[in-house]
Structure formats: C-alpha cells, structure tokens
C-alpha cells in the first residue's frame, strides 16, 4: 500500500494532535508539576511537527529510490491482508476448533494464496500443525487449546 507523503504526514499530524489532546486530559498528580500528561503531550507535539515536515516533503532527498512496481489488478494488493485475516481467524476460532484444526486451516489457505499446489499444501497442513503442537505443547508446555480434535499426546 503505497501512500503519498501528504497522506502519511497528515495521519501523523492527526495522531499527534489526538495524543496531545488525550494526554492533556489526564489527571495530574497533586503537588507535582510534571505527571503522566507531560510525556504524551511532548510526543504529540513532536508527531505534529514531523507530520507537517513529511507532508511538505522535507527529508525526501534521503530516501532510497523505490524499484518501480509491476502493475497488478487492484485486488492484488488486498492479498497482503490475508495474513492478518488468518491471525484474526486464529483469535476467533482457536478456542472452539482447537489448535490443530485452526493451524491446519491457516496453513492450507496461506499456502494456496502463495501459489502452492494442493499436492504440497495438503500434506503441509496436516503435518505442520501436529509438529508445532508437539513442540509447543509437549516440550514448551504452552497451553494450546484442544478444541474438537486433540492430538494423542
């Protein structure tokens, strides 16, 4: 997702303003001049300043030239969101489905999106969750949820 410096700079200004405003509303510690508000306000001001400088293009000369991107259909960039979606799926589903099934689904989808053949993706989705479960549950004692399908160990 390539954004112009104006957009990212603008976002930083807004974020800085929000941080400074939010910080200024924090309750002070009685009898002290500086409290929890000082640091966020300082950062907020810094972010506003940086945002403005970025938006007007100062410091641009330091950046390395980007390689020109090959043109893709508009939805191609959305593929970048697949990993986030898979992690979200893990958060929502791992308690009910259990680790093995959730991880298998993640690996299968992830591998297919990256262009793997089913011949590779399917065995991977069966074997890797079991291996990871063995390593983390058995050896490292991480309490992974059992869910619908619990491995024999």
Partner 1 sequence: MELLEAFRLVAAPDVLIAILASAIYGLVVGSLPGLSATMATALLVPVTFWLSPIAAVATIITASAMAIFSGDIPGCLLRIPGTPASAAYTDEAYALTRKGQAELALGAGLWFSAIGGIVGTLSLVLMAPVLAEMALSFSTFEYFWLAFLGLMCATLVARSSPIKAIASMLLGLLIACIGMENPAGTPRFTFGVPDLLGGIEPIPALVGVFAVSEVMRAMVTPEPPKLPDRKFGSILANQWALTKKYQWPMWRGNIIGIIIGVLPGAGADMAAWVSYAMSKKFSREKEKFGTGHPEGLVEAGASNNASLASGWVPSLLFGIPGDTITAIAIGVLYMKGLNPGPTLFTENARSMYALYIIFILANIIMIPLGILMIRMASQVLRAPRAAIMPVILVMCAVGSFATGSNLFSVLLVGLFGCLGFVMERNGYPVAALVLGIVMGSMVEQNFITSLIKSDGDVLPFIERPVSGVLAAMTFGALLWPLGVWIWNRVQGPRLPAGSAAE
Residues 82-111 that bind partner 1 (CB under 8 A): 82-84, 86-88, 90-91, 94-95, 99, 103, 106-111
Per-residue tokens: 92: 């929502």
Q: Which of 14, 142, 148, 149 binds partner 1 (CB under 8 A)?
A: 142
Residue 24's CB is within 10 A of a number of other CB atoms, namely 12
Q: In a 3-state reduction of DSSP, which class is residue 148?
A: coil
Question: Is the CB of 44 or the CB of 97 nearer to partner 1?
Answer: 44
Shortest separation between residue 149's beta carbon and partner 1, angstroms: 16
Is residue 2 part of the contact set for partner 1 (CB under 8 A)? yes
Q: Which of 6, 79, 134, 148 binds partner 1 (CB under 8 A)?
A: 79
- Report 18-47 residues binding partner 1 (CB under 8 A): 19, 22-23, 26-27, 29, 32-36, 38-40, 43-44, 46-47
Question: Is the CB of 15 or the CB of 147 nearer to partner 1?
Answer: 15
DSSP sequence for 65-122: PPPPPPP--GGGGGGGGHHHHHHHHHHHHHHHH-HHHHHHHHHHHHHHHTT--HHHHH
Site size for partner 1, by CB under 8 A?
Answer: 79
Question: Is the CB of 127 or the CB of 148 nearer to partner 1?
Answer: 127
CA dihedral 104, 110, 114, 119 (to 10 degrees): 10
Q: What is the residue whose two structure tokens read 């999106």?
A: 113
């Amino acid at each position: 997702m390539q954004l112009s410096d104006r957009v990212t700079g603008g976002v930083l200004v807004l974020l800085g303003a929000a941080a400074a405003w939010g910080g200024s509303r924090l309750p002070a510690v009685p009898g002290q001049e500086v409290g929890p508000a000082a640091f966020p306000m300082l950062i907020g001001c810094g972010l506003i300043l940086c945002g403005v400088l970025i938006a007007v293009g100062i410091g641009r000369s330091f950046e390395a030239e980007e390689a020109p991107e090959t043109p893709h259909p508009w939805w191609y960039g959305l593929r970048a969101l697949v990993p986030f979606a898979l992690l979200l799926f893990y958060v929502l589903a791992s308690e009910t489905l259990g680790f093995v099934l959730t991880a298998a689904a993640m690996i299968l989808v992830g591998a297919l999106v990256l262009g793997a053949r089913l011949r590779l993706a399917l065995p991977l989705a069966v074997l890797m969750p079991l291996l990871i479960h063995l390593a983390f549950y058995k050896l490292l004692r991480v309490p992974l949820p059992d869910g619908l399908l619990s491995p024999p160990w």
